[in-house]
Structure 1
Amino acid sequence: MANKVLIFTKRVLPLSNTFVAAQGNNLPNFQPIYIGLRSNKSGIDLIDGQSTCVQEQYEALPVISRLMLDGMQHLMPAWKTALTNLSANLIHAHFGKGGYYCSPIAEKLNLPLITTFHGSDITQRDKFSYNKKHRKIVFQQSSKIIAVSKFIENKLLKAGCPPEKIIQHYTGIDTQYFSSVGQKSEQPTILFVGRLIEQKGCQYLIQAMKIVQAQLPEAELIIAGDGKYQEKLVTSSADFRNITFLGAQNRTQVKALMSSAWLTCLPSVKIDRGNEEGMSTVCMESQAMGTPVVGFDTGGVSEAVEHGVTGLLSPEKNIEQLAKNLLTLLKSNPLRTSFSSAGVERTNRLFNIKRQCQILESIYQELC
C-alpha cells in the first residue's frame, strides 16, 4: 500500500495555489490527498483525478461560527472520522495559518505535521498576522518547518522558530511542462502574471511603460491576473497604448503567454503590512520557458533570478531603473538570448520539481 500524505490548504484549490498542486502531483511514491476547510473550484483542474477531503460542514456554517471554530481550532467529528479513514502517514500544511489549522488534526490523528511557510505568513508584521501566539503553536506542533527560500528561513529564525526544525527547500516547478516552445511575438511584449493587489506592484510597471513606450512605441504590456486593484489599474492605464488586461489565466494559458513574451516583469514590493515575496513561482516558470525576467529586488526574488545572468533586478519602486532595465533587454536580442539560455539552465539545475519532490519525500520518510 502506498504511503499517503494529507496536503492541507484552507481552500481546495485556488488557481493562485498552482505550486501546491504541482508539488503534490509530482510526489513519486506518496499518494497526495488534498484536504481543506472549503472548496474553491477555480484551480480544481490542477488536481484532477486526485483524492480530496473537504470539511463540508464548515462551508454550511455562518461566518461568525466559522471564525469561532478557527479560533478554537475545533475539528468537527464527521471530518475527523473521514480523515482517520484515509489512513494517512503524515500531514503537510501549506502556509503558517494552515499549520495552525492542522495542529489539532495532527494531534487527534497522531500524525506528524510538516508546515511550509511561503511568504507573508511569516513576513507580515505581528500586528497584522494571525499573531505570535498562533505562530508559536505552529512552531511547537510541527515536526518540521519548510522554508521556500533562504529569505524565508531567515525570517523564521528571527521569529523564534527552533533552528533544528527548519529545512530550507525550494518547491520547484515542472521544468518539462514549462519548456521553451513556439515563436516569440513579432512586437516587443512584456508579460505580467499575478494577482492585481498592492504587493504585486503592477502599478509601478504601468508607470514604467510610459518611459518604455516613449522610446519603443510598439512595446506591448499584457497583464494576466485579477484582483481588487484591477479597476484602478485599468483606469490609470486608459491613456496608454498597447496595454491589455486578460484577467486570471489558467496554467495552459500562462504557458502560452510566457512562450510568446519577450520578457516577464515581476515588480513586487514590500508593503506596510510587511507582506513580501517569499519566492517567485512566476519567475521560475518564465525562465524555464527561456523568457528573461525584469523586476524589483525584493524578498526572495534574487534567489529565483540571478541578476545580470538570467534577468535584471532593481531597487523596489524605482520606476526609472525598472524602465531602463526593460528597455535594455527589449533593445538587445543578444542579451535576451544569453539570459534566456542561462535561465533555462539555472532553472533546470536548481528548481526541477521532480528532483525537489524526491528530496521532499526523503523528509517525509524520516517522519513516518
Structure 2
Amino acid sequence: MSQAYNLCIIKPNKSAFSETFIQAHIDGLAGNKKVLYGGAFPVFDHEGKTLIRSKLGLLSYLIQKRIFKRKNIKVRTCALYKYLKEHKIDAVFAEYGMVGASVTEACKLAGVPLIIHFHGADVYHRDTVAEYAELYQDAFKYASAFIAVSIDMAATLKEMGAPADKVFTASCGVDTAAFPLLDTSASAKDFLFVGRFVEKKSPQSLVKAFKILQEKHPDARLWMVGGGPLFDETRELIADLGLNEQVTLTGVLKPEEIRTLMKTMRAFVQHSVTAANGDKEGTPVTVLEASSSGLPVISTRHSGIKEAVIDGETGFLVDEYNITGMAERMSTLAESVELSVQMGKAARNHMINNYDIHMRIALLDHIIQSSISNNKIK
C-alpha cells in the first residue's frame, strides 16, 4: 500500500485528446493530487484560479512574458513557491521537460523534490531544446529524477547533461483490460492509423505505401483517424493518387469509437520518422493500445517503437522512409489473416508483460516516493 503524500502534477494543457498518457498518470498515481496547468509554467491552480493572485502581479507577469519574452519571471516563481508551501506539497511531477525546467526554481525555493517526465519533442525538437538549454541545465542539477519513454531518449538525456543515476526508462503504459484481445480472424484487408497528422508521423509516407499495396490488393482499405497540420496535405495526396474510395479520413474520434474501429482491422500502421527539426516520437500510446487489442503493428525503427514492436514477432519494422518495405509488410499481412492473428496474440502478451499501465504507475510511484524519502534525509 502506498503511503499518503501530497503530489502536485504540472502539465502544459488543460486537456488534449492526444495526451491520454498524462490523464493515466493523474488517475493512477498515488497520493493526494493537485493538478496545475497553463503552458510551460502553470498559470492556473487545481481550482482553475490564477496562481498569481494580484492584478498588478498578473500584469507584470504578462508584460515580462509577452513583451520581453523572459523565461525567469520572479512574480510567477514566487506564486508557485507559495502554492507549494500552502498546500504542503511533498513532490512535484512535471509532464514534459519544458515544464520541469520552468518550475525548477520554485521547487528549489520550496525545498520540494522534482520529478520530470520527458515525452518526445522536449528532448528532440532542436529549437525547443535550444530555447530551454539554460533552464534544462539547472533542472539537471536540482531534480530528483528524469523519466524517459525509451532507451534512446534516456541516452539522449544523459548526453544533454542529466545525471545517469537519476535517469529512468519508463515508457507510457496501456490499460490492457480496457483494450482486450480482439478476434481478428475474420478481418478484411483493412489497416488502421491513429494519430496526429504531423511531420514525425509522416502520414504521406503511409499513404504512398498504401498506394503500392493497393495495386497488388485492390480490396485493401486504409482508415486514418486524427487531425493536425498535415491533414489537408494528406487529403490532397489521397485524391492525387486516386485513393478517395479506398482511404477513409475519419477526423478525430472518441476512444470508444476507435476501439470499435479496431474490431474490424487486420493491422495497425504508422510510419514514424525523424522530422526536419529533429523532433521524434517517444513511445506512441496508439501503438501500445493497438498491440494490447491484438493488432499486429507495422511501423518504423524509430525511438520507442523499436521496443514496443518486436520485428517479425508482434509486427514488422522497416527503416524510416522505406515506403516500399512498408508496403511489402502490409502485403504480407493482407495475404495471411492467420499470421495477423498469431502476431496480434504475441503483441498482446508483450503489452501485458512489459507495458501494462499498472506496472508503469507502480514504477512512477516508487520513483516519486523514493524522491520524497531522499529529500527528507537531506
Is TM more than 0.5 here?
A: yes
Q: Which residue of 2 aligns with 1:44?
A: none
Say which of 23, 26, 44 aligns to 2:25.
23
The C-alpha deviation readout for 1:307-327, integer Å capped at 9, x for no partner, is: 001010001001100100111
Q: Which residue of 1 aligns with 2:97?
A: 96
TM-score by length of 1: 0.88
User: Displacement of 1:360 after TM fit?
Assistant: 1.6
TM-score by length of 2: 0.86
- From the superposition, tell whether residues 127 and 3 of structure 1 become closer, same or farther in structure 2 (CA, over 3 Å): closer
Q: Which residue of 1 aligns with 2:278?
A: 274
- From the superposition, tell whether residues 314 and 292 of structure 1 become closer, same or farther in structure 2 (CA, over 3 Å): same
Alignment of 1:326-365 (within 5 A): 326-365=330-369
Q: Which residue of 2 aligns with 1:72?
A: 72
- From the superposition, tell whether residues 127 and 195 of structure 1 become closer, same or farther in structure 2 (CA, over 3 Å): closer
Q: Which residue of 2 aligns with 1:43?
A: none
Alignment of 1:86-235 (within 5 A): 86-125=87-126, 129-181=130-182, 186-235=187-236
Contact kept, 8 Å, 2:184 with 2:265, in 1: the verdict is: no
User: Displacement of 1:54 after TM fit?
Assistant: 4.5
Contact kept, 8 Å, 1:97 with 1:130, in 2: the verdict is: no
User: Displacement of 1:124 after TM fit?
Assistant: 2.7
- From the superposition, tell whether residues 145 and 323 of structure 1 become closer, same or farther in structure 2 (CA, over 3 Å): same
1:288 partner amino acid: S
Say which of 49, 56, 72 aligns to 2:50.
56
Quote the sequence identity (%).
25
The C-alpha deviation readout for 1:130-172, integer Å capped at 9, x for no partner, is: 3421221221221111111111111111212111211122331
- Unaligned runs of 5+ residues in structure 2 are 53-57, 373-378
Q: Which residue of 1 aligns with 2:321?
A: 317
CA–CA distance in 2 between the matches of 1:38 and 1:121? 13
The C-alpha deviation readout for 1:220-262, integer Å capped at 9, x for no partner, is: 1111111111111111111213211111223222222233321
- From the superposition, tell whether residues 347 and 23 of structure 1 become closer, same or farther in structure 2 (CA, over 3 Å): same
The C-alpha deviation readout for 1:249-301, integer Å capped at 9, x for no partner, is: 23222222233321111101001211112212111111000011001111221
- Unaligned runs of 5+ residues in structure 1 are 40-50
- From the superposition, tell whether residues 8 and 32 of structure 1 become closer, same or farther in structure 2 (CA, over 3 Å): same
Contact kept, 8 Å, 1:126 with 1:132, in 2: the verdict is: no
1:31 partner amino acid: N
Equivalent residues, number: 355
CA–CA distance in 2 between the matches of 1:63 and 1:276? 32
Q: Name the stretch that deviates more: 343-352 or 130-139.
A: 130-139
**What do you get for the CA RMSD once the two structures are aligned?**
2.5
